[in-house]
Every structure is written in structure tokens, then in C-alpha cells.
Structure 1
Amino acid sequence: MRILVFANTPAHVHLYRHAVDRLERADHDVLVLTREYACTTDLLEFFELPYRVYGDHGTDAYSKLRFARELGGQFGTIVRESIRFRPDVVFGRGPYAALAGTVTRTPVVLVLDDEPGDFNHTVSRPFADCILSPEVTRRDLGDDHYTFEGFKECAYLHPDVFEPDADVREYLGVDPDEPYVLVRFNALDALHDTDLEGFTREQRRDLIEHLSERATVFVSDEGGDMDLRDYPARPYDLHPALIHDAMSEASLLVADTGTMATEAALLGTPAFRYRGNDEHEYGEFEELERAGLAEEFDDYGAIRDRSLDILEDDGAAARWQERRREYAGDLVNLTDLLVEVATSRGAVDRLSSSTRQSIRPRSQSM
């Protein structure tokens, strides 16, 4: 079979990388279409995935304006690459996957979550043959929409899939018992981030200064515009493919971005997310909060003070790991599901009986 996968962000690479590897080892022909965005192509290179680039999307205002002007050209490249590859099934989200499936008359599988991406969902839904999303997502996208118990991050962080690199502390230059915090600042440059505000410049400094009194602080700045020479913190400068290994050893993750907070929670690391002015309710976060693995905050002072409290709590790490063991082991291994959906060309009725039992029509889970 020939499987076409769209990976437009680093999160998409992680979502599909294990499935791509397994499909290739089973002698299927896989192609990943991607764009130059953040560390997306770095990850594809690291994991040795077969890919071609159809465009780029930077993180500053000029890059976004250029992206809008060049969108037609990117669509043209997608059309050419898709026709040349002749896929049997297409995986992705938004207009990219929809376009590829339309021009090649190929089944389209969308893997979605609860982000406020109404535009992407609206334009791609009519072209989808199968839509997969976590059961906790709120949308009902029609008869071809199926849910699974878990999160899209279960494709790479499920306990049956994730194996941490035992040397990550050595890579970071921290001692075996040295507490450290990962702080992630969002670039807020994606379509669904329009008009959102995360930590302010003043809040970033205040947060780092307070955290550094209790732990070593590593900063991952998605926008890339922070000069940390004047801060009591180190830049997170390992290869981006090692971020989950670093998360798994951290005492705490603090972020104003959703994906990394979800990832840390599923790894059993206390995960605190600052909402800023984001009023969207995420089913994934509500579920992780219910499980005691993540916490969200509307008030900056509250997230700072709670972060300091957790760093003083000697029993926090053990409690979070126990919660992960009790919760995550029962979630769906999404990689297993993606592989079988791929080999069935997106046809749910062709799935094995055990796999069909792991998903259900969205209309039945509302």
C-alpha cells in the first residue's frame, strides 16, 4: 500500500512517527508531506522518516503574511506531489489532507483534537472518510466520526510505546537528584492562536526568577526571541526529539501552550498551563485535571504560587507517577489504531473486531 501523511507541525511528526515506522517495516510505501515550521523537518530527519517539503510557515508577522501570499503555490505543490505518489489513503487534518484526497480520489483519515480549529474542521470534514478524535472532544463531526479513549499524544506517550532515554540528565548537565523545571513559552503564531495572549514579558521574568530559587530552570521559547543571558535560567538546547525524555525527568512543566502540558501530564510530570485570555474549553485538559495529572490557571499569580508549592512538595513526583500508572495504562495505544486504519484504507468496517471495540461512533459518546 501507499500511505500519504501530512505532518505540518512537530506534534504531527510525533503523532505519526511510530505508525510510519511500523508501516514501512511491513513493506508499505509511506510519504510524509511537510512544511518548514519550527523544528518539524529536524524531527523528520532525526527519526529518519521519508518526507518532502511543500512550503514553509515562519513564526513572525512577516512570515505569516508571506505564508498567506504563497498558500496557492503550496497547494499546487501538494497537488503535484500527491498525484505523483498515488496514495491509497491520506492522513492529516485541514485543507491539506482534504485537497490531497480530492485530487487523487483517495480515502482521507483526519486525526483531530479539541483545539479551537473550526476553520480546519469545517473545510476538511466534507472530504473525510474517517475522522478519529479523543472521546473527550466535544464536536460531533458526522456519521464518519469515531472516538477513542485517550489522547492523540497516546500515539507516542502511551506506556506501551514511550521508553525514556536514561541519559537525558547527562545531556542536560544536571545531577541525578537535581530538581529541574521546564518552562515552555508559546509563539502563539498558529491559526487557532489568533488574538491569544500568553505570559507577558514581565511575567516571564518573574516566573523564571521565582522558580530558579528552588530548581534549575530550562526555557523552551517557541518564538525564539528571548535573550536568556540576563535570566537565571538555561535555554533548553537539546535536540527537539529529546523533549519528552527531558519532560519525563522534570519536577514540573509550566507552559502557556497546550500540547506540551498534555504531554507532560501523560508522562506523570506535574503539568501547569497558563490560559492567559484563552477562553476555549479543552476536553483534554478537563480530563487530565480530573485524573489529577494537569492543572490550568487563569491568574498568573496563582500558577506561579502553585508552581513554587509543588517544588517544595517532596512527595509530588511519586503521587503523579502513581496517578499515571492508574490512568494511562487503560488508554488506547493510538499507534496500533493508526496502523490498522491505514491498512484498511480508512474503512472502519474492515478493522478487526478488537480494534472496532476500541472506537465508537461519536453520536454514541455524546
Structure 2
Amino acid sequence: MKFLIDINHPAHVHFFRQPMELLAARGHELVVTSRAKEMALPLLDELGVRHVVLSAHKGGGLLVLGQELIKRDWALWQVARRERPDAMAAIGGTFVAHVGWLSGIPSLVFYDTENAKLQNAITYPFARRVIVPRCYQGRLPSHQERYDGYHELSYLHPRRFQPDRALAEHNGLDPARDNFFVRTVSWQANHDLLETGWSVPLLRRLVAWLAERGRVHISSETSLPEDLASFAYRGRVGDVHHLMAHCRLFVGESATMASECAVLGVPAIYAAHTGRGYTDEQEHRYGLVSNLRQFDADRLIASASAMLQQPSSVWPERHRRLLAETIDVASYVADRIEQRGTAL
């Protein structure tokens, strides 16, 4: 069979990489369409994945996103009509849902972001199957299913990824000190409408406090101020998880990266005004994430201090429990695409 995978964000590359390898190993043909956003295209190129670029991210706002929606739906429709895939899959899935509904091609939408209400409203009704983690807290259509896991386990489950310390050091890990990973985002994704992020003074205070205790690595979707530029992560994009796995703490406004650290057994602080069901579960069920909806520099530093004061032995035990209660998501995703989203 032939399957179309639509990539719209760097995280989607990570999510689908292993399922695509599994599907190819089973003899299926893959068509990959892509969107120029941040490091999505370089990641695909780095992995040797052939792809067709359909559109480019040009900032936030309803008008800009609406224009891209029309353009990208049309471009994807043309690819689908030419390639005639047996099924299409994507994270978020607005484009595959629309084109699938119009063409009769089954579309599978994998998603975990409840606050993307507008996007979900124009997507979920048109999909063949909406597939979410068990902890998803938003409204869902009747044609949905849940699984025991998180998106990040598609590429960071122990069957799919083993941290390499040598690669971590090659990409900036300081072997002589504690290492801390900080992530800031641009808040221009379609699920970030009306959301605002950290201020520069907040980031400066947090980094200064962490830098007194070890090596700080900042991953930022926007340019850093000159006085913080020396902290920027400059390693290979595809190797960042090796570094993250060897850090003592993550602090950031990216739910995805907080969850990545949780499934790697690294304690994480997710500080953003909107939450996620998966980071909530990772806090309340496993104690690997601290979610801060209201925060300033003092609260961030206090939360980081509290996590660093925990005995180091608690994190491996919590990590083992998380892995024992979740699945190899890559295998599950490949199976559901192969089954074309038919009801279980």
C-alpha cells in the first residue's frame, strides 16, 4: 500500500520517523509532504527523507494562517490526486482531514493539544480517525480512540532511542558540571493564538541563576539577546535529545520538550499560561514535570530549586514507572496507519 505523511513542524519529523521506517520495512510506499517551519526541512534532509514542500510558515495571526490553509489544502489535494495514497496521516491534521474528506481517502489525525480549539474545530469533523493520548482533556468526536502513551514515546521509547553520552558531549554537554536545558518559543503556531511567552528579563534572571550551578543550553525559536547568545545550543539538530537526556533539569515554555525530558527521565518545568493534558499527567501521575500556569522569575527559580533538592534516586524510579505503564507508540502508529484507521 501507499501512505502519505504530512509534516508541518519539526516535532512531526521526530514523531513519524520511526513509524515511517516500520512501514517501509513492511513493504509499503511512502509519500511525504512538508512545510517550511523552523528546522522541519533540515531535519527531513538530515534523515534522508524525500519530501515535497507545499507551503511555508510566515508568522502567526488568523489572516496569514487562513491564507496558508487555502493554499496548502489545494497543494495537498493535487499531490493526493496524483499519488492516490491508501491513507494519509498527520499531527494536527487539518490539511489531510480536509483533503481526505473531499477525496474519500482515509485520514488519521494524531493530536495532543487541547487548546488548539479553532484548529480542532475545523479538523476533527473531517478526519476518518482522531487518535489521542489517554490523558487528552479536550472534546473529541465519536470517531476517536485513545492510547497509553505520549507523542514523544514514538521516538524516545527505549526501543527506539538510547542516549549516547559521547554524542551529548560532542554537542555541548559539559562532563564536569551539571547541565541545564532551557527552551523558549515564538508563540506563532496555530495553537498559540492569543498566547504570550516569557519576557527577556525573566529569561535573563533564570539563566543567570542556572549558570551559577552549571552549564546552560538555550534552544530558542527566536534570536537571543546578545548577552545570552553564548548560551545558545549550537549542536546538531538531530542530536539534541542525546544532550537533553544527560541534563539535570529542563526549564522551558515548550510542552513538547518538557514531555521529551519526562519520557527520558529528566525532571522538567513547563511554564506557560496554557496547559496540556500530557504534562498534567506527567506531573500528577509520575512526578516528572512541574506545570506553572502563573509564574514570574521568582516562581520559576523556586520551582527549579525545589526540583534540584530532590534526591537524584527519585527520577529513575519515576521514569521506570512511566515506561511500565505506556506503550511503544511508534509500533502503534505504524499499525493504525496500516489499518487505515478502521475501528478497533
Q: Give the TM-score category using the shorter length.
A: over 0.9
Would the alpha carbon gap of residues 148 and 71 (structure 1) be closer, same or farther in structure 2, given more than 3 Å must change? closer
Unaligned runs of 5+ in 1: 350-366
Would the alpha carbon gap of residues 177 and 21 (structure 1) be closer, same or farther in structure 2, given more than 3 Å must change? same
Unaligned runs of 5+ in 2: none
Tell me, yes or no, if the aligned pair for 1:4 and 1:32 is still in contact at 8 Å: yes
* Partner Cα separation in structure 2 for residue 344 and residue 105 of structure 1: 16
Structural mapping, 1:243-254, within 5 Å: 243-254=240-251
* Partner Cα separation in structure 2 for residue 112 and residue 208 of structure 1: 32
Would the alpha carbon gap of residues 143 and 71 (structure 1) be closer, same or farther in structure 2, given more than 3 Å must change? closer
* Partner Cα separation in structure 1 for residue 238 and residue 158 of structure 2: 18
Deviation per residue, 1:245-303 (Å, 9 max, x gap): 1110011111012111111111111100112xx2x442212211111100012222111
* Partner Cα separation in structure 2 for residue 24 and residue 34 of structure 1: 18
* Partner Cα separation in structure 1 for residue 319 and residue 211 of structure 2: 27
**Displacement of 1:213 after TM fit?**
0.5
Tell me, yes or no, if the aligned pair for 2:6 and 2:33 is still in contact at 8 Å: yes
Tell me, yes or no, if the aligned pair for 2:131 and 2:145 is still in contact at 8 Å: yes
Would the alpha carbon gap of residues 171 and 58 (structure 1) be closer, same or farther in structure 2, given more than 3 Å must change? farther
Alignment match, 2:152: 153
Alignment match, 1:334: 329
**Displacement of 1:178 after TM fit?**
2.1
Alignment match, 2:305: 308
RMSD: 2.0
**Secondary structure at the counterpart of residue 340 of structure 2:** coil
Give the TM-score, by structure 2 length.
0.92
Deviation per residue, 1:56-78 (Å, 9 max, x gap): 004478xx865544543322211
Alignment match, 2:111: 112
Tell me, yes or no, if the aligned pair for 2:98 and 2:127 is still in contact at 8 Å: no
Tell me, yes or no, if the aligned pair for 1:38 and 1:58 is still in contact at 8 Å: no
Tell me, yes or no, if the aligned pair for 1:5 and 1:32 is still in contact at 8 Å: yes
* Partner Cα separation in structure 1 for residue 142 and residue 136 of structure 2: 16
Structural mapping, 1:11-160, within 5 Å: 11-59=11-59, 68-92=66-90, 93-160=92-159
Tell me, yes or no, if the aligned pair for 1:214 and 1:308 is still in contact at 8 Å: no
* Partner Cα separation in structure 2 for residue 162 and residue 339 of structure 1: 17
Counterpart residue identity of residue 168, structure 2: R
* Partner Cα separation in structure 2 for residue 116 and residue 70 of structure 1: 20
* Partner Cα separation in structure 1 for residue 142 and residue 115 of structure 2: 21
Alignment match, 2:169: 170
Alignment match, 1:255: 252
Find out whether 1:323 has 2:323 as its counterpart.
no
Q: How many residues in Structure 1 have an aligned counterpart in Structure 2?
A: 340
**Secondary structure at the counterpart of residue 217 of structure 1:** strand
Bigger Cα displacement from structure 2, 135-144 vs 262-271: 135-144
Aligned residues with identical type, % of pairs:
26
Find out whether 1:286 has 2:284 as its counterpart.
no
Alignment match, 1:353: none
* Partner Cα separation in structure 2 for residue 69 and residue 96 of structure 1: 13
* Partner Cα separation in structure 2 for residue 2 and residue 238 of structure 1: 35
**Displacement of 1:109 after TM fit?**
0.9
Tell me, yes or no, if the aligned pair for 1:254 and 1:273 is still in contact at 8 Å: yes
* Partner Cα separation in structure 2 for residue 131 and residue 70 of structure 1: 23
Deviation per residue, 1:19-52 (Å, 9 max, x gap): 0011112221111211000001111112222311
* Partner Cα separation in structure 2 for residue 299 and residue 72 of structure 1: 38
Counterpart residue identity of residue 78, structure 1: L
Deviation per residue, 1:106-151 (Å, 9 max, x gap): 1111111133112222212222222210111123423321111111
